[in-house]
Amino acid sequence: MVREFIEGWDLIQVLGEGMFGEVKLLVNKENGEACAMKEIDLDSHPEAEEVVKKEICVHKLLKHKNIVQCYGSRLEGRRQFIFLEYCLGGELFDRIEPDSGMPEHVAQRYFNSLICGIEYLHKKGVSHRDIKPENLLLDDHDTLKISDFGMATVFRHQGVERLLGRRCGTLPYIAPELLVRNEYNAEPADIWSCGMVLVAMLTGELPWDKPTPDQKEYMNWKDQRLELNPWKKIDHLPLSLLRKVLMPHPSRRYKLEQIQNHVWSKKKFKDADSSFSRSLSGTGAGLKKRLCSDLDHPAVEPCVAARQCQSQPLPTGQGEGSSSSTSPPSEVFHGFTQPAQLDNLLLSTQGGATQGSQNSFQRLVKRMTRFWVNTDKETTEKELRKRFEKQGYSCKMTTPGILTVQCIDRRGMQLVFKATLIEMDKQVLLDFRLSRGDGIEFKRRFTNIKSSMEMIIVKGPIMWSLAIHSDALPGV
């Protein structure tokens, strides 16, 4: 892979992939500020040109604590770059355990934040149209932020609202009216998708492949067969809210104000108030551990990463997107000061990526889909390939150290993920990242792979130096 870099910035890691390009992590060499860069090759994807222009236009208008901030964009030849707020906490789906979800109080906090962000969008006349856990990110303070505005559109301008006609989104999360009507209202469609995110958070599964009459599971929901899965996993109060949010008829569906006033949305949980560090208690790792360790590694000096991962200044006041309601302590608005040297983000083709630093390494996005092994890199790759072959997955290595894996999920949809082997001080870190497909299905496959490799997974602390360079990270 050809190495390129941004002048004055280290290109550290590929954070994710979309339909038209990749999102990469940049870290400023001088002050450690972090920025996410979305890159689209318009020669490879000429159909993306108008879509990306619209995305940039819409995203630049938005400033809210629950929406990923767009710092700006740059066109270099036929390569379009969009510079975005970096969310160190990773994707929401990473916090959802397959078939079990997450603790109810955590789901409530994320859901309320999502509704707060959607309320702001709708007041701006913007519909997201692809709300799902893969498009919801978490910053270093565990604040939920809506991302990826590639399908967003303006449905209201100067008080005049229009119906939408384009069918877009992800089938399990899409509202039923999109599949049966030529035109639909924007707001109820986004609200339905929020309800589906809540189901995923509370149960760790999706109730149907798509909300159509040929789906038995969907018809069971319409008939209110609540004794079946996943509904029987959900307590009475959140289920009562979901019955109003997932109303098949959009005109009868709860509006945002009704959702915010529902008794479950306002419920105070003892677990939620006891300690901020317990907010991820159902995920197998407390938030304090995740913020105070580098790659969840026990050998790192406590709280070094937490101190160095804050690219934004502490708040001095509320911004434009502030809600009138009181926010939980974990959702304090942290402002939108963009990286100080954003104007210096000029592409250079005169050399390879420069070496990174301890701070750059500690900026790696937090994921729960990674683990250390006690085998060398070559042996680890062989062990991985054996397991992929046994599961019937196809895999190839087009970039040294990165295996691209393809398979079919339980719904018959394509699932693509990448396994990166990172060697540091004779130890190997296996990092798995979703490329395409459903996040919960990806987590389910990752769990199976991890279980099958239990014999070589490192259980205790490993002592290793923090003097890591970006050259140790494949594919950047």
What CATH code is carried by the domain that includes residue 242?
1.10.510.10
64-68, 348-352, 398-402 — which is least confidently predicted?
Answer: 348-352
| Tokens standing for residue 36 | 């996410």
Please return the burial class of 160, using the count of CB atoms within 10 Å of its CB with bins 0-12, 13-18 and 19+.
exposed
**Is residue 322 included in any domain, yes or no?**
no
Question: Same domain for 116 and 265?
Answer: yes
Domain closes at, from 255, 270, 285: 270
CA angle 196, 228, 414 (to 5 degrees): 50
115-129, 351-365, 443-457 — which is least confidently predicted?
Answer: 351-365
Higher local confidence (pLDDT), 467 or 374: 374
Amino acid at 456: I
- The DSSP letter of residue 3 is -
DSSP alpha helix (H) spans, 204-250: 216-222, 236-245
Question: Same domain for 17 and 132?
Answer: no
Flag whether pLDDT at 408 surpasses 90.
Answer: yes
Please report, for the domain that includes residue 470, its CATH number: 3.30.310.80
Question: Mean pLDDT, the chain, as a whole number?
Answer: 81
**Is residue 46 included in any domain, yes or no?**
yes
pLDDT digits (tens, 9 = 90+) for 123-137: 999 999 999 999 999
Question: What is the set of active-site residues?
Answer: 130
DSSP alpha helix (H) spans, 124-235: 177-180, 186-203, 216-222
Question: Same domain for 47 and 102?
Answer: no
Please return the burial class of 248, using the count of CB atoms within 10 Å of its CB with bins 0-12, 13-18 and 19+.
middle
**Is residue 297 included in any domain, yes or no?**
no
Q: What percent of the chain has pLDDT over 70?
A: 75
**Mean pLDDT of all residues in 62-66:** 97
Angle between helices 104-123 and 236-245 (to 10 degrees): 30
- Contact by Cβ (8 Å): 385, 391: no
**Which pLDDT value is given to residue 410?**
86
**Which pLDDT value is given to residue 363?**
58
Amino acid at 332: V
- Contact by Cβ (8 Å): 147, 135: yes
Torsion of CA 131, 132, 138, 144, to 10 degrees: 50
- The DSSP letter of residue 276 is G
Question: Same domain for 344 and 416?
Answer: no
**Which pLDDT value is given to residue 28?**
85
Distance of CA 455 to the CA centre of its chain: 30
How far apart are alpha carbons 249 and 351 in whole angstroms?
A: 58
Domain closes at, from 252, 270, 288: 270
29-33, 204-208, 420-424 — which is least confidently predicted?
Answer: 29-33
Domain closes at, from 254, 270, 286: 270
Question: Same domain for 132 and 258?
Answer: yes
* Confidence band of 427 (pLDDT split at 50, 70, 90): confident
**Which pLDDT value is given to residue 274?**
57
pLDDT digits (tens, 9 = 90+) for 171-188: 999 999 999 999 999 999
- Contact by Cβ (8 Å): 382, 432: no
Flag whether pLDDT at 411 surpasses 50.
Answer: yes
- Contact by Cβ (8 Å): 279, 330: yes
Torsion of CA 332, 335, 340, 341, to 10 degrees: 90
Please, which residues bridge with residue 25 across strands? Answer: 13, 36
**Mean pLDDT of all residues in 275-282:** 45
113-117, 125-129, 275-279, 322-326 — which is least confidently predicted?
Answer: 322-326
How far apart are alpha carbons 236 and 232 in whole angstroms?
A: 9
Question: Same domain for 84 and 123?
Answer: no
Number of domains in the chain: 3
How far apart are alpha carbons 371 and 430 in whole angstroms?
A: 5
Question: Same domain for 216 and 234?
Answer: yes
Please report, for the domain that includes residue 34, its CATH number: 3.30.200.20
**Mean pLDDT of all residues in 40-63:** 93
**Is residue 301 included in any domain, yes or no?**
no
Question: Same domain for 155 and 76?
Answer: no
In terms of pTM, does the model score above 0.85? no
Half-sphere exposure of 135 (CA within 13 A, CB side): 24
**Is residue 13 included in any domain, yes or no?**
yes
Higher local confidence (pLDDT), 289 or 117: 117
Q: Which single residue is written with the structure tokens 């926010």?
A: 327
**Which pLDDT value is given to residue 349?**
33
The reply to whether omega before 188 is within 30° of 0 (cis) is: no
User: Residues 6 or more apart from 341 whose CB is under 8 A from it?
Assistant: 8, 9, 28, 30, 31, 33
Task: Look up the domain containing 40 and give its range.
Answer: 5-88+338-348
**Is residue 444 included in any domain, yes or no?**
yes
pLDDT digits (tens, 9 = 90+) for 202-241: 999 999 999 999 999 999 999 999 999 999 999 999 999 9
Question: Same domain for 162 and 259?
Answer: yes
Question: Same domain for 77 and 166?
Answer: no
Residue 474: which of 413, 416, 414, 433 has the closest Cα?
433
Backbone angles phi, psi at 407, to 5 degrees: -155, 180
pLDDT digits (tens, 9 = 90+) for 342-391: 555 544 433 333 333 444 455 567 788 999 999 999 999 999 999 999 99
Residue 419: which of 443, 395, 436, 391 has the closest Cα?
395
Higher local confidence (pLDDT), 65 or 326: 65
**Which pLDDT value is given to residue 380?**
95
Question: Same domain for 240 and 177?
Answer: yes
Question: Same domain for 120 and 265?
Answer: yes
**Which pLDDT value is given to residue 364?**
64
Residue 87: which of 145, 134, 128 has the closest Cα?
145
Please return the burial class of 463, using the count of CB atoms within 10 Å of its CB with bins 0-12, 13-18 and 19+.
exposed
**Is residue 23 included in any domain, yes or no?**
yes
- The DSSP letter of residue 47 is T
Amino acid at 107: A
Strand 402-408 with 394-399, pairing: antiparallel
**Is residue 475 included in any domain, yes or no?**
yes
How far apart are alpha carbons 31 and 363 in whole angstroms?
A: 13
